[in-house]
Structure 1
Amino acid sequence: MTSDVPLQTVARAFEVLDLLEREREAGPAEIAELMGVNRSTAHDYLVSLEATGFVVREAGRYRIGYRFLERGSLLKYRNRFFHSSDVVLRKLSEQSDELAQLGQEEDGEWVMLHEEGDLTSVQTGTYPGFRTPIHSHAAGKVLLAHLPDERVDELLDVDELEAVTEHTVTDPDVLRTELDAINDEGYAIDREEQVVGIGFVACPVIEDGELLGSVSVACPTGRLEQDDYREDLIRNVRAAAEEIAVNYRYY
């Protein structure tokens, strides 16, 4: 997994962090077993990470510290796209009475930057920093549809794409056809490709030819099947994308 990383020690430290995230907390013996190293090596990694403040020790067990939250929040609040979008996203959620989300592409994935709305209305399992394959739902597809051709070829140069649910489009050729339609229509819709029972309507945010990200609304699939309701969502999401682009221009 880390053989092509120049500094193996750094890569292994991040492996420890990934394990702590997955396990929520662990001791040196557990980390050693999961990594296939001896206990003293695992202990050294944990103590070193504790010294940085990114890992916290409590009662002999280690967990990820809130310093990651601090850094993540700084990254978000320094983002011009976020500041151009937060009020618009809130308004979109109020207009639609649904969960509105803002995302960007990074390393072939859709990353959720911010969301607004009543989290009890739909359970998408998302949070700021949530990542998912870019092809796996509408908010990512509108980004994929507007990436340079060579980048799209790079991301889709596989026999089969990862399935997030049984409804995810995994055939690259089928997806390419869908991307052409998204380009023509200016928006994307998916039905349960990311979350069973939930659909998304999304539009790209483009300012002066620059793809900034995507804005989307999540709602129960049943409501998405209602023609008038779906058309209202498309209209509201499209207007939000245009307003964010204007805000970004003059921010």
Structure 2
Amino acid sequence: MTNDRTPRRIQSVELAFDILEVLRDSGGATVTEVADQIDRSPGTTHTYLATMADRGYVRNRDGEYQVGLFAVPLGEYVRGQSQLYRVGKSEVDELAQETGEASHLVVESHGREIPLYERFGPDAVGETLYEENKGHPRWNLHCSAAGKAILAHTPPERRDEILTNYEFAERTPQTTTDEASLREELEAVRQQGFAQNDEEQITGLRAVGAPIRYEGQIRGAISLSAPTSRLQGQQFASEIPERVVQAANVVEINLQSA
């Protein structure tokens, strides 16, 4: 008798999620285009799409299928269930309003970076790009300030699990793309209590991130991003890091009293 500890998978469920991801990534696709992507016949693909459309999670617009509007309240429900979101939102708002820049509340899931909440101050840049990327869990833990803050304070076993077969996407010429260099940087992040992103994710943009911890576990991170022309010198080296760490500490206190 074999002892197979690999969890069983239901292929039809996996296929339904594959279809949703195809529609998300493409912005909309025909039956034939989806069928090509998931390697199924047009007939089988149409049956899946029709079923998902009946449930509201897919919509058909003149033969082009898109993710349906029922996905919106589902996502809002998931976010609303997050204690970190509920207690961290106001601090993100305050940080953005105070600095005029973009502030982010970020978590990790399945080795990807998930923006839980973002607020753009009156002087913030890159809002359109952030909005475009919001619906796509991305391999950004190695190049974003919030991602590195999370990775640095993740338990070693979990960090090793994440970095195994991790996709070190080269976002800019400044992106760290090898595990050894990243691990060295993460050690420095643990020592100083915050992480920096020096044009590693988007050229012309810097960021500072600080971990949010509660009951001995990393819950996420808060970060601030701004153009290099405004985030430089002491601002980048110490002033903004101190403010972001302060914001993270406030969220940690709020988690205790929630």
Asked whether the two chains share a fold, i.e. TM above 0.5, the reply is yes
Alignment correspondent of 1:61: 64
User: SS of the counterpart of 2:96?
Assistant: helix
Conserved 8 A contact 1:112-1:130:
no
Alignment correspondent of 2:148: 141
- Structure 1 residue ranges (4+ consecutive) displaced by more than 6 angstroms after TM superposition: none
Alignment correspondent of 1:247: 254
Alpha-carbon distance, 1:112 to partner: 0.5
Output the TM-score relative to the length of structure 1. Answer: 0.90
Per-residue Cα deviation, 1:84-135 (whole angstroms, up to 9, x for no partner): 1111111111221110000111111221000112376211622455532221
Alpha-carbon distance, 1:159 to partner: 9.2
1:43 aligns with 2:46: yes
Please, which of 147, 159, 171 is the counterpart of residue 152 of structure 1? 159
Per-residue Cα deviation, 1:158-209 (whole angstroms, up to 9, x for no partner): 5983323222111111111111110110001111111121111000011232
Residues 198 and 228 of structure 1: is their aligned pair in 2 closer, same or farther, counting only changes over 3 Å?
closer
Identity, % of aligned positions: 29
Q: What aligned pairs does 1:216-235 form with structure 2 within 5 A after superposition?
A: 216-228=223-235, 230-235=237-242
Alpha-carbon distance, 1:147 to partner: 0.8
Residues 102 and 122 of structure 1: is their aligned pair in 2 closer, same or farther, counting only changes over 3 Å?
same
**1: CA distance between counterparts of 2:249 and 2:44?**
53
Conserved 8 A contact 1:112-1:126:
no
Residues 16 and 130 of structure 1: is their aligned pair in 2 closer, same or farther, counting only changes over 3 Å?
closer
Alpha-carbon distance, 1:155 to partner: 2.5
Conserved 8 A contact 1:113-1:129:
no
User: SS of the counterpart of 2:138?
Assistant: strand
Alpha-carbon distance, 1:225 to partner: 2.2
Alpha-carbon distance, 1:41 to partner: 1.4
User: SS of the counterpart of 1:140?
Assistant: helix
One-letter amino acid of the counterpart of residue 138, structure 2: T
Output the TM-score relative to the length of structure 2. Answer: 0.88
**2: CA distance between counterparts of 1:174 and 1:245?**
29
